[in-house]
Amino acid sequence: MSETGVTTNLYDRLGGAAAVDLAVNNFYRKVLVDDRINYFFEGVDMERQAAKQKAFLTFVFGGPNNYTGLDMRKAHTHLVANGLNDSHFDAVVENLGATLRDLGVAEADIAEVAALAETTRNDVLNR
Amino acid sequence: MPTIAFQECTVECAPDETVLDALTRQGLEIPSSCRNGVCQTCLMRATEGKPPRTAQQGLKETLIAQGYFLACMCKPTESLTASLPDEAVVQRVSARVIYREYLNGDILRLRLLPYGAFHYRAGQFLQIRRPDGVIRSYSIASVSEIDSLIELHIRLLPNGSMTTWLHKEVREGDCLEISGASGNCFYLPGAPARNILLVGTGSGLAPLWGIIRSALHEGHQGEIHLYHGSYNVAGLYLESELHALAEHHPQFHYYPCVDEGEGAAHHSGRADKIALAQHKNLSDWQVYLCGHPEMVKSAKRSAFLAGANLTDIYADPFVLSKTP
């Protein structure tokens, strides 16, 4: 965060916690109607899932976080066993980009978010 | 310096210190994870004192109204008495059965007079404890601002030992032991213009009946749409009362729905399907879902996809106990 400085911080530019609250509903909706990935979300507790997605969005928005990758790994182990792969990860990032585009976020910022999301790929896919 | 009373300890909270830090500094175990107000693992409840609004960001309005807060975000400005969410404040009250009647073939209406203060919000549930120790939860159908007695709607379940006891053995004049009210499915004044969708099956109407009367009593102006579903016409109840309510309050609309049977007076099909087909855009609506767990689960997803935010969807699935 310090390298970009206070005024140009991605998280603040996106709107901070309020933006995460706004984005999480739209993002989760997109994921649930996307037939490429929605079967991974069958039967999960929606509130708990939304809380996890808020944590994920906070991280990829460059917000304050305690991301270590360990929880991300554990949360996806059983999904990887069921076939979760790069194409599904790409679909999630695509939905993330579309969510931000709907909210009027600039393409450069979307690219920055996608780059942060990219850092979680190996944890998500348990590699 | 504000203090935090938790279990048997009282801890001083230093300036700029969070409740989570203050309590863990004393070696107290509070579940936590992100420490940034995101994951909501450190959810606590203030039973005395008011937590700052910044510690309640992202919580359901009904949780906020009950004093819930996130310990990792809470830099208290006043002293608090706090507990973990599952440490229910166990309050036991004795209540006398004043009135009983059948609302339909298998739903019993009980009205109870509590001995001592019993605070609740319409739509919450209480527990009945039978003398042999068996405990079951029932939704409250009355409104404390309107009704002097607590009302419950109890459906007789096949092999339900508690409901059989309540139906067959408990009489007017008997005393029941009840617990304090809990649950997050209730009406909150403060947004009188928002539209409300309610879907209930069977005796899932009980909390909704309370929520609707509470909303109208508070002067709610937005549209209120109730879809009550049952397998057949015999399973519906309070039909004439609900029609009368709709006549007196133009903002309230009532749709009795049955899976089986035809008739001009009823909608044919599952209540949640009919409701969601008639309301395709639920953006900024409040949604209340009560009754059959499968209905609640699928309607929650449909309402969310129709635009309702998860924090505006209040669900009260009736989970059947496995033990008799």
In this prediction, residue B103 carries a pLDDT of: 97
Q: For chain B, list the domains and their CATH numbers.
A: 3-83 (3.10.20.30), 92-179 (2.40.30.10), 196-317 (3.40.50.80)
- The nearest alpha carbon in chain A to B305 belongs to A29
B36, B58, B301 member nearest A65 (Cβ): B36
Closest by CA to B128, choosing from B158, B86, B166, B99, is B166
**Whole-Å CA distances, B81 to A12, B21, B55, B221:** 34, 16, 15, 36
Contact B10, B3 (CB under 8 A): yes
User: Which residues, including other chains, have CB under 8 Å from residue B10's CB and lie 6 or more apart?
Assistant: B3, B4
Measured between beta carbons, which residues in chain B are less than 8 angstroms from residue A33?
305
B36/A66 touch (CB, cutoff 8 Å), yes or no: yes
Task: List the helix and strand counts (H, then E) for chain A.
Answer: 7, 0
In this prediction, residue B323 carries a pLDDT of: 43
In this prediction, residue B213 carries a pLDDT of: 97
Task: Enumerate residue ranges in chain B where pLDDT < 50.
Answer: 322-324
Residue B184 to residue B246: CA distance in whole angstroms: 26
Contact B315, B296 (CB under 8 A): yes
Q: Return the residue in A1, A11, A22, A24 with the most chain B beta carbons within 10 A, the one to mutate for interface testing.
A: A24
B82 vs A3, which has greater pLDDT?
B82
Q: Is the pLDDT of residue A45 over 50?
A: yes
Least Cα separation, residue B29 to chain A (angstroms)? 19
Amino acid of residue B2: P
Residue A14 to residue A106: CA distance in whole angstroms: 9
In this prediction, residue B89 carries a pLDDT of: 54
Residue with tokens 């310090």: A2
Those residues of chain B whose CB sits closer than 8 Å to some CB in chain A are 33-40, 57-58, 300-301, 304-305, 309-310
Residue B102 to residue B281: CA distance in whole angstroms: 37
Residue A115 to residue B6: CA distance in whole angstroms: 43
Q: Where are the alpha helices (DSSP H) in chain B?
A: 19-25, 61-65, 161-168, 205-217, 239-248, 271-278, 293-305
In this prediction, residue B61 carries a pLDDT of: 86
B304/A32 touch (CB, cutoff 8 Å), yes or no: yes
In this prediction, residue B316 carries a pLDDT of: 80
Where do the structural domains in chain A lie, given as residue ranges?
Answer: 10-124
B301/A64 touch (CB, cutoff 8 Å), yes or no: no
Least Cα separation, residue B46 to chain A (angstroms)? 22
Measured between beta carbons, which residues in chain B are less than 8 angstroms from residue A47?
310
Q: Return the residue in A11, A20, A48, A66 with the most chain B beta carbons within 10 A, the one to mutate for interface testing.
A: A66
For residue B193, with 0-12 CB atoms within 10 Å meaning exposed, 13-18 middle and 19 or more buried, which class applies? exposed
In this prediction, residue B59 carries a pLDDT of: 85
Q: Is the pLDDT of residue A7 over 80?
A: no
Residue B86 C-beta-side C-alpha neighbours within 13 Å: 4
Q: Is the pLDDT of residue A5 over 60?
A: no
pLDDT tens, position by position, B249-283? 999 999 999 998 777 789 999 999 999 999 999 99
* Tokens representing residue B245 in the block: 């309510």
Helix (H, G, I), strand (E, B) or coil at B6: strand
In this prediction, residue B237 carries a pLDDT of: 97
Amino acid of residue A77: T
Those residues of chain A whose CB sits closer than 8 Å to some CB in chain B are 17, 20-21, 25, 28-29, 32-33, 46-47, 50-52, 54-55, 58, 63-66, 71
Q: Where are the alpha helices (DSSP H) in B14-112?
A: 19-25, 61-65
Residue with tokens 């649950």: B183
Mean pLDDT, chain A, as a whole number?
Answer: 89
Residue A99's pLDDT band (cuts 50, 70, 90): very high
* Tokens representing residue B241 in the block: 């009362």
Of 3.90.1150.10, 1.10.490.10, 1.10.10.60, 3.90.330.10, the CATH number of A10-124 is 1.10.490.10
User: Which residues, including other chains, have CB under 8 Å from residue B281's CB and lie 6 or more apart?
Assistant: B306, B307
Q: Please tell me the least confidently modeled range out of A23-37, A42-56, B64-78.
A: A42-56
A58/B38 touch (CB, cutoff 8 Å), yes or no: yes
Instruction: Please report the beta strands in chain B, taking only residues with DSSP state E, as ranges in sequence order.
Output: 3-6, 9-12, 43-48, 68-70, 80-83, 92-102, 107-115, 125-129, 135-139, 150-155, 175-179, 196-201, 224-230, 252-258, 267-268, 286-291, 313-317
A23 vs B90, which has greater pLDDT?
A23
A66/B33 touch (CB, cutoff 8 Å), yes or no: yes
Q: Is the pLDDT of residue A69 over 90?
A: no
Residue A121's pLDDT band (cuts 50, 70, 90): very high
A66/B34 touch (CB, cutoff 8 Å), yes or no: yes
B34, B35, B310 member nearest A47 (Cβ): B310
In this prediction, residue A48 carries a pLDDT of: 86
Cα A22 to chain centroid, rounded: 13
In this prediction, residue A65 carries a pLDDT of: 78
For residue A54, with 0-12 CB atoms within 10 Å meaning exposed, 13-18 middle and 19 or more buried, which class applies? buried
A54/B309 touch (CB, cutoff 8 Å), yes or no: no
B34, B39, B305 member nearest A29 (Cβ): B305
